[in-house]
Chain A
Amino acid sequence: MVPREGIHVTGDPTITLAGVTKRFGEHIALRGVDLEVRPGEIRGFLGPNGAGKTTAMRIIVGLLRADEGTATVLGGDPWRDHAVRADLGYLPSDPGLYGRMRGSELLDYFAALSEREPVLRAAASDLLRFSDADLARPVRTYSKGMRQKLGVLQAVQHDPLLLILDEPGEGLDPLVLSGLVELLRDRRDAGRAILFSSHVLAEVSALCDRVTMIRDGAIVGEGTIAELSTQRARTVILELVDPTTTVELPGCAMTDRTGTRVTLSHHGEVGPLLQALSVLDLHDVRIEEVSLDEVFMEYYREHEVTS
């Protein structure tokens, strides 16, 4: 095992993709993708199936070579310099785990390949509710959820500086999922960079500092969830005292008016809106926060219309 000496967390990006394009024959899987993930950051990677998330992750891990652009991971080129992968933990969407091995043997094998001590195995096993008795069993006897837990364990056990997790919450029960969230937050606080994709948007919004949205191989949105939300329309519902009141509010477009109930769509900052609302005679007002689901769906629909 190689000790971690000489490697320290810096402010430099852990992952930098610059103009990365990847083709599979006629199909363009990635189109000039730019992505930066820094130490101490959990980045959510969102997109519909076939959007290019897995391809981007495989380029970061060094399994695929970019046709154009550059990928820099932990200061090196993951395709050419296999040594940079010592500080990388990877969970593919469908991890291939040797069924004849016992769980503990499999973890020992991957720790040995990583050339790092599995310093986090015990703590991570506890958080993921993986007992020693489970680890003593052959992997072929595991359920889907247990295989997923073992996949997460092999990725995190050597405390890598960078974690690439493709659908890590897949098949996990809520209790284990909360353990996974705790584990990832703990790693982020320790300065590790984490890039993960998920279809469970609640999981992403609970965990991620920033989100990158990809569609048809191109990045269509990036920022914190708050930033992305302010770019999208909020729903504002007013209950007027007088149904004849004229409603003209900054940044709002009326979508429905039935009696005293007015539904508006609002873009932009909420400050001017609140100021304007304060002079209206209202029974009730409700501003619905834009959820990540709505942001995602709006990006998705917008792109479909564009294309």
Chain B
Amino acid sequence: MNRALMTRLVLEQRVRLPLEVLLVGLWGFLLVAVFATSEVFTKQLEAQADQFGDLLDLVGLDPLAQWASIGFQHPIYLLGGGLFAVGLGVRAIAGELEAGSLALALSRPLARRSWFLSHLAVLIVGCVIIGEAYALGCLLAVTVTDPLGNLESVSMLLAGLQSALLLLALGSIGVVISAFSSERGRALAWSVGVIVVLYAANFLLPLWAPTKAAAQLSPFAWFDPAPLLQRGTLAGGDVVVLALYAAIPLSVAAWQFARRDLAGG
């Protein structure tokens, strides 16, 4: 990694990333605040507490945890995080190549590997910050609004990391397409298209028995923070699959970037 490049990348994010963090954090806060102040939820919970409280405690189900879990998988959260991850991924190669800035940087004694790893480091850190921003937004709302139910801090922070892995997987799609492209707009369009198809596949393919198994091809199928938030159990297999979902495209992108001609820009 290159320090000067890293500094530039971090400074470049000084407006966009805080805005996205604010959006995602606010989303987490509002979600829990709405849950806490909604009469419907409160009444349902009070009724459940009377009738099924012991049973819910026994199986570890918590509506607040479920609610927070849905927030992680909601399009608003995915859009906030995905904008950063895919945007940075696409800009890393195709965007800088089209702008002509990649040629200037790589005419220096800067290895392509350093360029790639520096962008990857910023991408990973950014995804983690966004994932944890949602978790912290939820936890802050729990402290402020004191809703019925239970949300473990450690579980929320771990779920934030798990969601960062999903965002990284989405970003890696942007990076690999960027590595094969010389135009930012085209790379962005392809990346968004692929991600939308994968998102839809996760919901639509399970509806029909013959295609149900194919839904597993979507990274979204491997991200469900509910067990972690409700029972404190991390699905290790899901984490490994998501990590592979990020690592494989990134490896292909690194290989392609190292050998490709940089003729654009």
Partners in one complex: yes
Kindly state the separation between the CA atoms of A86 and B107 in the bound complex, as whole angstroms: 8
Min CB–CB distance B179 → chain A (angstroms): 15
Q: Mark B121-143, 1 if CB is under 8 A from A, else 0.
A: 00000000000000000000000
Kindly state the separation between the CA atoms of A96 and B98 in the bound complex, as whole angstroms: 9
Interface hub of B3, B99, B259 (most chain A Cβ within 10 A) = B99
Closest residue of chain A to B12 (Cβ to Cβ) is A100
Min CB–CB distance B75 → chain A (angstroms): 30
Is A96 a contact of B4 with CB atoms below 8 Å?
no
Q: Mark A57-89, 1 if CB is under 8 A from B, else 0.
A: 010011111000000000000000011111011
Min CB–CB distance B127 → chain A (angstroms): 23
A110 interfacial by beta-carbon distance below 8 Å? yes
Size class of the contact patch on chain B: 20 to 34
Is A90 a contact of B265 with CB atoms below 8 Å?
no
- A-B pairs with beta carbons under 8 A, tally: 84
| Contact residues in A for B265 (Cβ distance below 8 Å) | 92, 94, 96
Kindly state the separation between the CA atoms of A165 and B96 in the bound complex, as whole angstroms: 20
Complex interface residues of chain B between 3 and 38 (CB less than 8 A to chain A): 3-5, 8, 12
Is B108 a contact of A114 with CB atoms below 8 Å?
yes
Is A113 a contact of B263 with CB atoms below 8 Å?
no
Is A85 a contact of B262 with CB atoms below 8 Å?
no
| Contact residues in A for B104 (Cβ distance below 8 Å) | 90, 92, 95-97, 110, 154
Is A82 a contact of B109 with CB atoms below 8 Å?
yes
Kindly state the separation between the CA atoms of A88 and B110 in the bound complex, as whole angstroms: 12
Is A94 a contact of B261 with CB atoms below 8 Å?
no
B106 interfacial by beta-carbon distance below 8 Å? yes
Task: Known A92-B103, A113-B108; judge A64-B8 contact (CB<8 A).
Answer: no
B48 interfacial by beta-carbon distance below 8 Å? no
Min CB–CB distance B178 → chain A (angstroms): 15
A123 interfacial by beta-carbon distance below 8 Å? no
B188 interfacial by beta-carbon distance below 8 Å? no
| Contact residues in B for A58 (Cβ distance below 8 Å) | 103, 262-263
Set A83, A94, A95: member contacting B109, Cβ < 8 A? A83
Q: Mark B39-60, 1 if CB is under 8 A from A, else 0.
A: 0000000000000000000000
Kindly state the separation between the CA atoms of A88 and B259 in the bound complex, as whole angstroms: 21
| Contact residues in A for B197 (Cβ distance below 8 Å) | none
Is B100 a contact of A63 with CB atoms below 8 Å?
no
Closest residue of chain A to B3 (Cβ to Cβ) is A112
Task: Known A24-B263, A58-B262, A90-B104; judge A113-B111 contact (CB<8 A).
Answer: no
| Contact residues in B for A203 (Cβ distance below 8 Å) | none
Task: Known A63-B263, A64-B262, A92-B265; judge A85-B109 contact (CB<8 A).
Answer: yes
**Known contacts A92-B103, A96-B101; 14 further A-B pairs (Cβ under 8 A):** A24-B263, A55-B263, A63-B262, A63-B263, A65-B261, A82-B111, A86-B109, A89-B107, A92-B100, A92-B104, A96-B96, A96-B104, A98-B12, A164-B107
| Cβ contacts A to B, 30 pairs, < 8 Å | A58-B103, A58-B262, A61-B106, A61-B107, A62-B107, A63-B261, A63-B263, A64-B262, A65-B261, A82-B106, A82-B109, A82-B112, A85-B107, A85-B108, A85-B109, A85-B110, A86-B108, A88-B107, A89-B107, A96-B96, A96-B100, A96-B102, A98-B8, A98-B12, A98-B101, A101-B8, A110-B105, A113-B5, A113-B108, A115-B109
> What 3 pairs between A and B have smallest CB-CB spacing?
A96-B100, A96-B101, A112-B4
Residues of A in contact with B (beta carbons under 8 Å apart): 24, 55, 58, 61-65, 82-86, 88-90, 92, 94-98, 100-101, 109-110, 112-115, 154, 164
